[in-house]
Amino acid sequence: IYIHDEYQKTADWLMSQTKHRPQVAIICGSGLGMLADTLKCQDSFAYSDIPGFPQSTVQGHAGRLVFGELKGKTCVCMQGRFHMYEGHSLCKVVRVFKLLGVDTLIVTNAAGSLADGLQPGDIMVIKDHVNFPGMGGLNPLTGPNDDKFGPRFPAMSGCYDKGLRCVAMEVAKQLGVANIMQEGVYAMVGGPNFESIAEARLLHRLGVDAVGMSTAPEVVVATHCGLRVFGLSLITNKVVKSYEDSESVNHDGVLEVGRLRSHTVQQLVTELISRMEINNNTTTDNVA
Ligand SMILES: O=P(O)(O)O[C@H]1O[C@H](CO)[C@@H](O)[C@H]1O
């Protein structure tokens, strides 16, 4: 879907099917879809039944939109995301969430670590990103700008909300998992192949802490339309940087670490949502 009226049609259809009016949207990363299962009073929709919605095709991404309550806040959860490598036009369904009245977007992903201090099973709170496809022109905001959503030239400094990052670190302390959590920079590459050793070394030298194949377009679209964003990467593997290293990464291994840490990620996100203050966005201030 491309134009405002089409996003609006999708939002109107969803509002006719559920009484929930979400304040928080959550996008679940590979193997992290169980977050959606914890929502209370659920209404859920297969992507294939939602007018204007693309389909998700990757194992570990169920393809359902789930509405429900979490710690007194109304949430909508994408159990399954759309990746550029699936051939989707870059993900703009976040705009539907804006039209539903959402104030805050939470993105989670599985990522490989380049930083020596980040081990599989660790959680990286995303401080900033490098949007490699975006910098090269594969940007979800390419095309005529829709002023109803946001400006032609949106700033991206500060796109990962500092306040929410601080709260997340406090929550980690409270849950006793501060030792596995730190902030870092996420880089998006196009995929679907994992990095070559030379590419991994390049990313490392550029100061990237973790790499994956998603998230940046979602955050660009969210920031453009004025949503507050929090993001975290579950580190599922170390990216191979040495020609002496005989290990190699695969998607099943990524999903397995997701399963092992799913409970911790779910606790963190739940507690963060519980503590966050919501700016009532029902008038969708940025949207005419
Ligand atoms: O970013 P998410 O959806 O968590 O998935 C990550 O895991 C997959 C590779 O195993 C890729 O799709 C990568 O982007």
**Higher model confidence: residue 114 or residue 91?**
114
- Per-residue pLDDT, 22: 98
200 is a domain residue:
yes
- Per-residue pLDDT, 278: 85
Share of the chain above pLDDT 90, in %: 80
Total structural domains in the chain? Answer: 1
Answer yes or no: is pLDDT of 287 > 50.
no
- Looking at the annotation, which residues are catalytic? 30, 61, 83, 85-86, 110, 213-214, 237, 251
Write the burial class of residue 222 (CB in 10 Å: 0-12 exposed, 13-18 middle, 19+ buried).
Answer: buried
Question: What is the residue with the minimal CA distance to atom 14 of ligand 1?
Answer: 213
- Per-residue pLDDT, 55: 80
Task: Yes or no: say if 181 and 122 are a contact pair by the CB < 8 Å rule.
Answer: yes
Our answer on whether the CB atom of 188 is closer than 6 Å to any ligand 1 atom is: no
- Residue 32 alpha carbon, nearest atom of ligand 1: 4
Eight-state DSSP code of residue 49? G
- Per-residue pLDDT, 248: 85
Our answer on whether the CB atom of 83 is closer than 6 Å to any ligand 1 atom is: yes
287 is a domain residue:
no
Is 201 annotated in a binding site? The answer is no
Our answer on whether the CB atom of 224 is closer than 6 Å to any ligand 1 atom is: no
Q: Give the domain range for residue 226.
A: 4-275
86 is a domain residue:
yes
Mutate which of 254, 255, 257, 259 to test ligand 1's pocket (most atoms within 8 Å of Cβ)? 254
Is 237 annotated in a binding site? The answer is yes
User: Mean pLDDT in the chain?
Assistant: 93
- Residue 108 alpha carbon, nearest atom of ligand 1: 4
Can you list the positions of beta strands (E) in 169-280?
A: 181-188, 210-212, 228-238
- Per-residue pLDDT, 26: 97
283 is a domain residue:
no
> Mind listing the pLDDT tens digit for each residue in 189-247?
999 999 999 999 999 999 999 999 999 999 999 999 999 999 999 999 999 999 998 88
> Mind listing the pLDDT tens digit for each residue in 134-172?
999 999 999 999 999 999 999 999 999 999 999 999 999
- Per-residue pLDDT, 286: 45
Is 83 annotated in a binding site? The answer is yes
- Per-residue pLDDT, 261: 93
Q: How is the chain split among helix, strand and coil, in percent rounded to 5?
A: 35, 25, 45
What's the average model confidence in pLDDT over 35-43?
A: 94
- Per-residue pLDDT, 245: 87
- Residue 110 alpha carbon, nearest atom of ligand 1: 4
- Per-residue pLDDT, 2: 64
Record the tokens describing residue 214, joined without a space.
């998603």
Share of the chain above pLDDT 70, in %: 96
pLDDT band at 54 (very low <50, low <70, confident <90, very high): confident
285 is a domain residue:
no
What is the rounded distance in angstroms from the CA atom of residue 88 to the CA atom of residue 147?
A: 23
The CATH number for 115's domain is 3.40.50.1580
Our answer on whether the CB atom of 238 is closer than 6 Å to any ligand 1 atom is: no
pLDDT band at 281 (very low <50, low <70, confident <90, very high): low
- Per-residue pLDDT, 79: 93
- Could you tell me the pTM of the whole model? 0.94
Answer yes or no: is pLDDT of 1 > 80.
no
- Per-residue pLDDT, 65: 96
Is 110 annotated in a binding site? The answer is yes
193 is a domain residue:
yes
Structure ipTM over 0.95, yes or no: yes
288 is a domain residue:
no
CA of 19 from ligand 1 middle (Å) equals: 32
Answer yes or no: is pLDDT of 252 > 80.
yes
Four-residue CA torsion sign, 156, 161, 263, 120 = positive
Give the list of residues 6+ apart from residue 16 with CB closer than 8 angstroms, or none. Answer: none
> Bridge partners of 110?
234
What's the average model confidence in pLDDT over 17-42?
A: 94
CA of 263 from ligand 1 middle (Å) equals: 18
Give helix 162-175 / helix 251-275 axis angle, nearest 10°. Answer: 100
Give the list of residues 6+ apart from residue 85 with CB closer than 8 angstroms, or none. Answer: 190, 191, 192, 213
Buried b (16+ CB within 10 A) or exposed e, 14-40: beeebebebbbbbbbbbbbbbbbebbe
Question: What is the residue with the minimal CA distance to atom 11 of ligand 1?
Answer: 213
211 is a domain residue:
yes
Looking up tokens 């007194």 gives 72
Is 82 annotated in a binding site? The answer is yes
